[in-house]
Chains A and B, each alone.
Chain A
Amino acid sequence: MEHEEHLSDSRLLMAIDGELPERDAVRAAAHLAACWSCRARKQELEGAIAEFVRFREREMNAPVPPAAGPRALLRARIAAVTANREASRPWAAFRIPTRRNDAAAALVACFCLIVVAMVMKDAIATKGATAKEWTRRAPAVFVPDAHLTPGATVLVGRQDVCSSAAPKNRMVPVSLRKQVLDEYGVGNAEPRAYEVDYLITPALGGADDIRNLWPQSYAANGWNARVKDALEDRLHDLVCNGELDLTTAQREISTDWIAAYKKYFHTDRPLGIAQP
Chain B
Amino acid sequence: MQDSQSPSNVFAGLPAIAADRERRASVLEREVVELFDQLRGPLFRYILTFGLPVQDCEEVIQETFLALFRHLTLGRSRRNLRGWLFRVAHNLALKTRLRSRREGLAPAEAESPLDGIADPALNPEHEFQNAQTRRRLLTVYQALPEQDRRCLSLRAEGLRYREIAEVLDMSLGSVSVSLARSLARLTRVSEL
Contact = CB atoms under 8 A, between A and B. Distances in A.
A and B associate in one complex: yes
A74 interface: yes
Given A17-B161, A91-B10, A164-B59, A77 B66 contact: yes
A162 B122 CA distance: 44
B92 interface: no
A74 B65 contact: yes
Which size bracket describes the interface of A in this complex?
A: 35 or more
Contacts of B54: 63, 65
Interface string A40-80: 00001101110111011011111111010011011101110
Contacts of B141: 52, 55
B65 to A, nearest CB: 5
Contacts of A71: 33, 36-37, 40
Q: Give the secondary structure class of A's interface.
A: helix
B44 A64 contact: yes
B142 to A, nearest CB: 11
Interface in B1-44: 1-3, 6-7, 9-11, 14, 17-18, 21-22, 25, 29, 32-33, 36-37, 40-41, 44
Given A60-B45, A102-B3, A49 B183 contact: yes
B55 interface: yes
Which size bracket describes the interface of B in this complex?
A: 35 or more
A94 B33 contact: no
A133 B38 CA distance: 34
A267 to B, nearest CB: 13
Contacts of A19: 160-161, 176
A56 B156 contact: yes
A274 interface: no
B140 to A, nearest CB: 10
Interface string B129-148: 00001100110010000000
Given A9-B184, A48-B187, A52-B156, A70 B61 contact: yes
A99 B66 contact: no
Interface in B139-192: 141, 152-153, 155-156, 160-161, 176-177, 179-181, 183-184, 186-187, 189-190
Given A77-B62, A102-B1, A109-B1, 17 more contacts: A10-B177, A14-B176, A17-B161, A45-B183, A47-B187, A48-B184, A51-B189, A52-B137, A55-B141, A59-B138, A60-B48, A64-B45, A73-B62, A74-B36, A86-B18, A164-B55, A165-B105
Q: Which 8 A-B pairs have the closest CB atoms?
A: A10-B180, A9-B180, A102-B3, A48-B186, A10-B176, A48-B187, A60-B45, A99-B6
11 contacts: A10-B177, A17-B155, A52-B156, A58-B119, A59-B113, A60-B48, A70-B61, A82-B22, A91-B11, A95-B9, A99-B6
Interface of A: 8-10, 12-14, 17, 19, 44-45, 47-49, 51-53, 55-56, 58-65, 67, 70-71, 73-75, 77-79, 81-82, 85-86, 91, 94-96, 99-100, 102-103, 106, 109, 164-165, 168, 266
